[in-house]
Protein backbone atom coordinates (compact mmCIF):
# COMPACT_ATOMS: atom_id res chain seq x y z
CA UNK A 1 0.00 0.00 0.00
CA UNK A 2 2.73 2.48 0.96
CA UNK A 3 4.57 1.63 -2.28
CA UNK A 4 1.45 2.44 -4.30
CA UNK A 5 0.99 5.71 -2.42
CA UNK A 6 4.59 6.66 -3.14
CA UNK A 7 4.06 6.02 -6.85
CA UNK A 8 0.95 8.21 -6.84
CA UNK A 9 2.74 11.05 -5.05
CA UNK A 10 5.72 10.79 -7.38
CA UNK A 11 3.43 10.93 -10.40
CA UNK A 12 1.58 13.94 -8.99
CA UNK A 13 4.74 15.87 -8.11
CA UNK A 14 6.43 15.29 -11.49
CA UNK A 15 3.41 15.96 -13.70
CA UNK A 16 3.23 19.27 -15.56
CA UNK A 17 -0.19 18.54 -17.06
CA UNK A 18 -3.05 16.69 -15.44
CA UNK A 19 -5.45 14.92 -17.79
CA UNK A 20 -8.87 14.25 -16.32
CA UNK A 21 -12.14 12.87 -17.53
CA UNK A 22 -15.39 14.24 -16.18
CA UNK A 23 -18.81 15.12 -17.48
CA UNK A 24 -19.90 18.73 -17.40
CA UNK A 25 -22.97 19.68 -19.37
CA UNK A 26 -25.49 17.00 -20.19
CA UNK A 27 -26.45 16.07 -23.71
CA UNK A 28 -29.55 18.25 -23.24
CA UNK A 29 -27.38 21.32 -23.88
CA UNK A 30 -28.23 22.47 -27.39
CA UNK A 31 -25.59 23.30 -29.97
CA UNK A 32 -27.15 26.55 -31.20
CA UNK A 33 -25.58 29.48 -29.32
CA UNK A 34 -25.71 33.27 -29.46
CA UNK A 35 -25.08 34.88 -32.79
CA UNK A 36 -26.65 31.97 -34.61
CA UNK A 37 -23.44 29.94 -34.65
CA UNK A 38 -24.05 26.21 -34.82
CA UNK A 39 -21.42 23.93 -33.32
CA UNK A 40 -20.96 20.48 -34.76
CA UNK A 41 -19.12 19.19 -31.68
CA UNK A 42 -18.50 20.09 -28.06
CA UNK A 43 -14.82 20.91 -28.72
CA UNK A 44 -15.74 24.16 -30.46
CA UNK A 45 -18.40 24.90 -27.84
CA UNK A 46 -15.84 24.57 -25.02
CA UNK A 47 -13.48 26.93 -26.88
CA UNK A 48 -16.26 29.48 -27.43
CA UNK A 49 -17.28 29.41 -23.76
CA UNK A 50 -13.66 29.91 -22.69
CA UNK A 51 -13.37 32.93 -24.98
CA UNK A 52 -16.73 34.26 -23.80
CA UNK A 53 -15.78 34.07 -20.10
CA UNK A 54 -12.49 35.86 -20.82
CA UNK A 55 -14.14 38.57 -22.93
CA UNK A 56 -16.81 39.11 -20.28
CA UNK A 57 -14.23 40.27 -17.72
CA UNK A 58 -12.64 42.60 -20.26
CA UNK A 59 -16.05 44.07 -21.05
CA UNK A 60 -16.87 44.63 -17.36
CA UNK A 61 -13.58 46.47 -16.86
CA UNK A 62 -14.21 48.73 -19.84
CA UNK A 63 -17.76 49.54 -18.72
CA UNK A 64 -16.63 50.44 -15.18
CA UNK A 65 -13.72 52.54 -16.45
CA UNK A 66 -15.95 54.42 -18.90
CA UNK A 67 -18.53 55.02 -16.18
CA UNK A 68 -15.95 56.47 -13.81
CA UNK A 69 -14.52 58.74 -16.51
CA UNK A 70 -17.98 60.08 -17.36
CA UNK A 71 -18.76 61.11 -13.79
CA UNK A 72 -18.86 64.91 -13.65
CA UNK A 73 -18.17 65.05 -9.91
CA UNK A 74 -15.10 62.82 -10.00
CA UNK A 75 -14.33 59.59 -8.23
CA UNK A 76 -15.27 59.32 -4.57
CA UNK A 77 -12.38 59.29 -2.13
CA UNK A 78 -12.43 56.54 0.45
CA UNK A 79 -11.68 57.60 4.05
CA UNK A 80 -8.27 56.44 5.32
CA UNK A 81 -8.06 53.09 7.05
CA UNK A 82 -7.24 52.68 10.74
CA UNK A 83 -3.74 51.88 11.92
CA UNK A 84 -2.80 48.20 11.92
CA UNK A 85 -2.38 46.81 15.43
CA UNK A 86 -0.47 43.64 14.59
CA UNK A 87 1.57 42.20 11.73
CA UNK A 88 1.54 38.68 10.33
CA UNK A 89 4.75 38.09 8.36
CA UNK A 90 4.92 34.29 8.37
CA UNK A 91 2.73 31.22 8.81
CA UNK A 92 3.11 29.02 11.86
CA UNK A 93 4.32 25.51 11.09
CA UNK A 94 1.85 22.74 10.39
CA UNK A 95 1.63 19.71 12.69
CA UNK A 96 1.18 16.23 11.27
CA UNK A 97 -1.62 15.53 13.76
CA UNK A 98 -3.45 18.66 12.62
CA UNK A 99 -3.25 17.62 8.98
CA UNK A 100 -4.53 14.13 9.83
CA UNK A 101 -7.55 15.61 11.61
CA UNK A 102 -8.19 17.86 8.62
CA UNK A 103 -8.14 14.93 6.18
CA UNK A 104 -10.48 12.99 8.46
CA UNK A 105 -13.20 15.68 8.44
CA UNK A 106 -12.94 16.63 4.76
CA UNK A 107 -16.02 15.95 2.59
CA UNK A 108 -15.84 12.64 0.73
CA UNK A 109 -15.91 14.27 -2.72
CA UNK A 110 -13.17 13.47 -5.18
CA UNK A 111 -12.17 16.19 -7.62
CA UNK A 112 -11.53 15.22 -11.24
CA UNK A 113 -8.09 16.79 -10.79
CA UNK A 114 -7.18 14.34 -8.01
CA UNK A 115 -4.62 11.61 -8.65
CA UNK A 116 -5.62 9.90 -5.40
CA UNK A 117 -9.35 9.30 -4.72
CA UNK A 118 -10.55 10.95 -1.51
CA UNK A 119 -11.66 7.55 -0.18
CA UNK A 120 -8.09 6.22 -0.45
CA UNK A 121 -6.75 9.43 1.02
CA UNK A 122 -8.96 9.05 4.08
CA UNK A 123 -8.02 5.36 4.51
CA UNK A 124 -4.33 6.29 4.46
CA UNK A 125 -4.67 9.58 6.34
CA UNK A 126 -1.87 8.79 8.81
CA UNK A 127 0.67 8.20 6.04
CA UNK A 128 -0.64 10.98 3.78
CA UNK A 129 -0.67 13.52 6.62
CA UNK A 130 3.12 13.29 6.72
CA UNK A 131 3.39 14.04 3.00
CA UNK A 132 0.83 16.85 3.07
CA UNK A 133 2.27 18.34 6.26
CA UNK A 134 5.79 18.48 4.87
CA UNK A 135 4.53 19.94 1.61
CA UNK A 136 2.56 22.62 3.48
CA UNK A 137 5.52 23.63 5.63
CA UNK A 138 7.83 23.88 2.60
CA UNK A 139 5.21 25.93 0.76
CA UNK A 140 4.58 28.29 3.69
CA UNK A 141 8.27 28.82 4.50
CA UNK A 142 9.24 29.47 0.89
CA UNK A 143 6.30 31.74 0.13
CA UNK A 144 5.33 29.72 -2.94
CA UNK A 145 2.12 27.92 -3.85
CA UNK A 146 2.69 24.80 -6.00
CA UNK A 147 2.26 25.66 -9.67
CA UNK A 148 0.68 22.29 -10.48
CA UNK A 149 -2.26 23.22 -8.22
CA UNK A 150 -3.08 26.45 -10.05
CA UNK A 151 -5.07 24.83 -12.86
CA UNK A 152 -8.86 24.74 -12.55
CA UNK A 153 -11.65 23.27 -14.63
CA UNK A 154 -14.59 25.56 -15.33
CA UNK A 155 -18.02 23.96 -15.61
CA UNK A 156 -20.57 26.22 -17.38
CA UNK A 157 -23.78 26.34 -15.35
CA UNK A 158 -27.01 28.18 -15.97
CA UNK A 159 -27.41 31.24 -13.76
CA UNK A 160 -31.08 30.43 -13.27
CA UNK A 161 -33.29 27.52 -14.21
CA UNK A 162 -35.36 28.18 -17.30
CA UNK A 163 -32.99 30.66 -18.97
CA UNK A 164 -32.32 30.38 -22.69
CA UNK A 165 -29.70 27.67 -23.29
CA UNK A 166 -28.81 29.20 -26.65
CA UNK A 167 -27.34 32.37 -25.09
CA UNK A 168 -23.83 32.12 -23.63
CA UNK A 169 -24.35 35.08 -21.31
CA UNK A 170 -26.83 32.97 -19.32
CA UNK A 171 -23.97 30.77 -18.12
CA UNK A 172 -21.52 31.44 -15.33
CA UNK A 173 -18.06 29.86 -14.95
CA UNK A 174 -18.12 27.61 -11.89
CA UNK A 175 -14.97 25.88 -10.59
CA UNK A 176 -16.49 24.48 -7.40
CA UNK A 177 -15.35 20.88 -6.77
CA UNK A 178 -12.95 21.22 -9.74
CA UNK A 179 -9.87 22.23 -7.81
CA UNK A 180 -7.63 19.49 -6.51
CA UNK A 181 -8.20 18.15 -2.99
CA UNK A 182 -4.59 18.70 -1.95
CA UNK A 183 -4.90 22.32 -3.09
CA UNK A 184 -7.87 22.72 -0.76
CA UNK A 185 -5.92 21.07 2.08
CA UNK A 186 -3.18 23.70 1.71
CA UNK A 187 -5.79 26.44 1.55
CA UNK A 188 -7.56 25.20 4.69
CA UNK A 189 -4.26 25.17 6.57
CA UNK A 190 -3.54 28.73 5.42
CA UNK A 191 -7.08 29.87 6.24
CA UNK A 192 -6.82 28.53 9.78
CA UNK A 193 -3.77 30.75 10.29
CA UNK A 194 -5.09 33.83 8.51
CA UNK A 195 -8.71 34.04 9.64
CA UNK A 196 -8.23 35.11 13.24
CA UNK A 197 -5.64 37.72 12.33
CA UNK A 198 -7.74 39.23 9.54
CA UNK A 199 -10.97 39.44 11.50
CA UNK A 200 -9.20 41.01 14.48
CA UNK A 201 -8.17 43.96 12.30
CA UNK A 202 -10.08 47.21 12.88
CA UNK A 203 -10.34 47.48 9.08
CA UNK A 204 -12.35 44.30 8.66
CA UNK A 205 -15.96 45.19 7.85
CA UNK A 206 -18.12 44.11 10.79
CA UNK A 207 -21.26 44.57 8.66
CA UNK A 208 -20.22 41.79 6.29
CA UNK A 209 -22.38 38.75 7.02
CA UNK A 210 -20.96 36.32 4.46
CA UNK A 211 -18.46 33.56 5.29
CA UNK A 212 -18.52 34.19 9.04
CA UNK A 213 -19.54 31.78 11.76
CA UNK A 214 -22.76 32.87 13.42
CA UNK A 215 -23.71 35.04 10.44
CA UNK A 216 -25.94 34.18 7.49
CA UNK A 217 -28.46 35.59 5.03
CA UNK A 218 -31.04 35.34 7.83
CA UNK A 219 -29.00 37.45 10.27
CA UNK A 220 -28.31 39.99 7.52
CA UNK A 221 -32.02 40.31 6.66
CA UNK A 222 -32.96 40.56 10.35
CA UNK A 223 -30.42 43.34 10.90
CA UNK A 224 -31.64 45.38 7.93
CA UNK A 225 -35.31 44.76 8.74
CA UNK A 226 -34.84 45.78 12.38
CA UNK A 227 -33.07 49.00 11.38
CA UNK A 228 -35.78 49.90 8.87
CA UNK A 229 -38.70 49.12 11.19
CA UNK A 230 -37.01 51.08 14.00
CA UNK A 231 -36.67 54.10 11.72
CA UNK A 232 -40.30 53.88 10.59
CA UNK A 233 -41.48 53.60 14.19
CA UNK A 234 -39.57 56.82 14.88
CA UNK A 235 -41.57 58.62 12.21
CA UNK A 236 -39.03 58.48 9.38
CA UNK A 237 -39.31 57.37 5.78
CA UNK A 238 -36.65 54.88 4.68
CA UNK A 239 -35.19 54.57 1.19
CA UNK A 240 -33.27 51.39 0.36
CA UNK A 241 -31.12 50.59 -2.67
CA UNK A 242 -29.84 47.07 -3.41
CA UNK A 243 -26.55 46.77 -5.27
CA UNK A 244 -24.85 43.77 -6.83
CA UNK A 245 -21.25 43.78 -8.06
CA UNK A 246 -20.96 42.32 -11.55
CA UNK A 247 -18.47 39.43 -11.92
CA UNK A 248 -17.38 40.21 -8.38
CA UNK A 249 -15.06 37.31 -7.58
CA UNK A 250 -13.62 37.21 -11.11
CA UNK A 251 -12.72 40.90 -11.29
CA UNK A 252 -10.52 41.20 -8.18
CA UNK A 253 -7.27 42.96 -9.07
CA UNK A 254 -4.39 41.00 -7.55
CA UNK A 255 -2.01 43.92 -6.97
CA UNK A 256 -4.70 45.91 -5.17
CA UNK A 257 -5.64 42.94 -2.98
CA UNK A 258 -2.04 42.18 -1.98
CA UNK A 259 -1.36 45.84 -1.19
CA UNK A 260 -4.56 46.04 0.85
CA UNK A 261 -3.54 42.95 2.82
CA UNK A 262 -0.29 44.67 3.74
CA UNK A 263 -1.56 48.20 4.40
CA UNK A 264 -4.87 47.49 6.11
CA UNK A 265 -4.40 44.03 7.61
CA UNK A 266 -0.67 43.78 8.29
CA UNK A 267 -0.07 40.66 6.16
CA UNK A 268 3.55 41.03 5.03
CA UNK A 269 6.76 39.09 4.50
CA UNK A 270 6.64 35.43 3.54
CA UNK A 271 2.92 35.29 4.31
CA UNK A 272 2.17 38.11 1.89
CA UNK A 273 4.38 36.58 -0.80
CA UNK A 274 2.61 33.22 -0.42
CA UNK A 275 -0.81 34.81 -0.98
CA UNK A 276 0.51 36.77 -3.96
CA UNK A 277 1.91 33.58 -5.47
CA UNK A 278 -1.33 31.75 -4.72
CA UNK A 279 -3.27 34.32 -6.76
CA UNK A 280 -0.97 34.70 -9.76
CA UNK A 281 -0.02 32.34 -12.55
CA UNK A 282 -3.37 30.56 -12.54
CA UNK A 283 -5.16 29.16 -15.57
CA UNK A 284 -8.42 27.44 -16.42
CA UNK A 285 -9.95 25.18 -19.01
CA UNK A 286 -13.64 24.84 -19.87
CA UNK A 287 -15.10 21.34 -19.79
CA UNK A 288 -18.20 20.54 -21.88
CA UNK A 289 -19.07 16.86 -21.80
CA UNK A 290 -15.88 15.05 -22.81
CA UNK A 291 -14.36 18.12 -24.48
CA UNK A 292 -11.87 20.51 -22.91
CA UNK A 293 -10.88 23.94 -24.17
CA UNK A 294 -7.25 25.10 -24.38
CA UNK A 295 -5.90 26.50 -21.13
CA UNK A 296 -6.46 30.22 -20.57
CA UNK A 297 -4.66 32.49 -18.07
CA UNK A 298 -6.53 34.01 -15.12
CA UNK A 299 -5.02 37.46 -14.70
CA UNK A 300 -7.65 38.70 -12.23
CA UNK A 301 -10.01 37.27 -9.64
CA UNK A 302 -9.92 34.83 -6.77
CA UNK A 303 -10.57 31.15 -7.58
CA UNK A 304 -14.27 30.34 -7.25
CA UNK A 305 -14.89 27.14 -5.34
CA UNK A 306 -11.66 27.68 -3.41
CA UNK A 307 -11.26 27.78 0.35
CA UNK A 308 -9.36 31.08 0.57
CA UNK A 309 -11.36 32.91 -2.10
CA UNK A 310 -14.25 34.09 0.11
CA UNK A 311 -11.96 35.56 2.82
CA UNK A 312 -9.76 37.26 0.22
CA UNK A 313 -12.80 38.74 -1.48
CA UNK A 314 -14.19 40.22 1.75
CA UNK A 315 -10.76 41.78 2.35
CA UNK A 316 -10.80 43.26 -1.14
CA UNK A 317 -14.20 44.95 -0.70
CA UNK A 318 -13.69 45.99 2.94
CA UNK A 319 -13.19 49.73 2.14
CA UNK A 320 -16.67 49.92 0.59
CA UNK A 321 -18.22 50.07 4.05
CA UNK A 322 -16.00 53.01 5.06
CA UNK A 323 -16.88 54.86 1.88
CA UNK A 324 -20.64 54.41 2.36
CA UNK A 325 -20.56 55.29 6.06
CA UNK A 326 -18.59 58.49 5.35
CA UNK A 327 -21.69 59.86 3.57
CA UNK A 328 -23.94 59.24 6.56
CA UNK A 329 -25.74 56.35 4.92
CA UNK A 330 -26.36 52.99 6.56
CA UNK A 331 -25.51 49.73 4.85
CA UNK A 332 -25.09 45.99 5.17
CA UNK A 333 -23.09 43.55 3.06
CA UNK A 334 -23.46 39.90 2.16
CA UNK A 335 -20.61 38.87 -0.13
CA UNK A 336 -21.09 40.94 -3.30
CA UNK A 337 -24.62 42.11 -2.36
CA UNK A 338 -24.85 45.51 -0.69
CA UNK A 339 -27.94 47.07 0.88
CA UNK A 340 -27.75 50.85 1.25
CA UNK A 341 -30.49 52.63 3.16
CA UNK A 342 -31.11 56.02 4.70
CA UNK A 343 -33.81 57.56 6.84
CA UNK A 344 -35.54 60.80 5.91
CA UNK A 345 -37.89 63.08 7.77
CA UNK A 346 -41.07 64.09 5.95
CA UNK A 347 -42.33 67.46 7.33
CA UNK A 348 -45.97 66.79 6.47
CA UNK A 349 -46.06 63.33 8.06
CA UNK A 350 -48.07 64.61 11.01
CA UNK A 351 -50.79 65.83 8.63
CA UNK A 352 -51.33 62.28 7.42
CA UNK A 353 -51.37 61.01 11.00
CA UNK A 354 -54.15 63.44 11.93
pLDDT at 224: 94
The pLDDT tens digits along the chain (354 residues) read: 434 433 333 333 333 322 222 333 443 343 433 344 444 567 888 888 888 888 888 888 888 788 777 877 666 678 899 999 899 999 999 999 999 999 999 888 888 888 888 999 999 999 999 999 999 999 999 999 999 999 888 888 878 888 876 788 788 777 554 688 889 999 999 999 999 999 999 999 999 998 888 899 999 999 999 999 999 998 899 999 999 887 888 889 999 999 999 999 999 999 999 999 999 999 988 888 788 889 999 889 998 789 999 999 999 999 999 999 998 899 999 998 999 999 888 775 554 455
Q: Give the chain's mean pLDDT.
A: 82
pLDDT (tens digit, 9 = 90+) per residue, 267-288? 999 999 999 999 999 998 888 8
Yes or no: say if 329 and 344 are a contact pair by the CB < 8 Å rule.
no
SS3 state of residue 243: strand
Question: Crossing angle, helix 254-265 and helix 309-316, to 10 degrees?
Answer: 80
pLDDT at 319: 93
Yes or no: say if 339 and 332 are a contact pair by the CB < 8 Å rule.
yes
pLDDT at 115: 85
pLDDT at 279: 96
119 vs 114: CA distance, rounded Å: 11
Q: Closest by alpha carbon to 192, among 299, 259, 101?
A: 101
**Cα 181–chain centre separation:** 17
Beta bridge partners of 172: 157
| 310 class by beta-carbon count within 10 Å (0-12 exposed, 13-18 middle, 19+ buried) | middle
| 193 class by beta-carbon count within 10 Å (0-12 exposed, 13-18 middle, 19+ buried) | middle
pLDDT at 275: 97
pLDDT at 10: 36
pLDDT at 353: 55
pLDDT at 73: 67
24 vs 28: CA distance, rounded Å: 11
pLDDT at 196: 93
Amino acid sequence: MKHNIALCINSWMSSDTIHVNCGALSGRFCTLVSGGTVYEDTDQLAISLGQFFTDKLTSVKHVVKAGLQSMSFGAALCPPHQSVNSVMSEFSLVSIAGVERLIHVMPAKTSPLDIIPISLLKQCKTEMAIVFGNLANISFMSGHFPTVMKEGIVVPLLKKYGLDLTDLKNFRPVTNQVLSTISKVLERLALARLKTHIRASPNYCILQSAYRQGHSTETAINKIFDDIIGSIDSGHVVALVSLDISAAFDSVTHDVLVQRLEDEFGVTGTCGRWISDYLTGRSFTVRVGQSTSPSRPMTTGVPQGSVLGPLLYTIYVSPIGRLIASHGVEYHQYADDIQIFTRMTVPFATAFDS
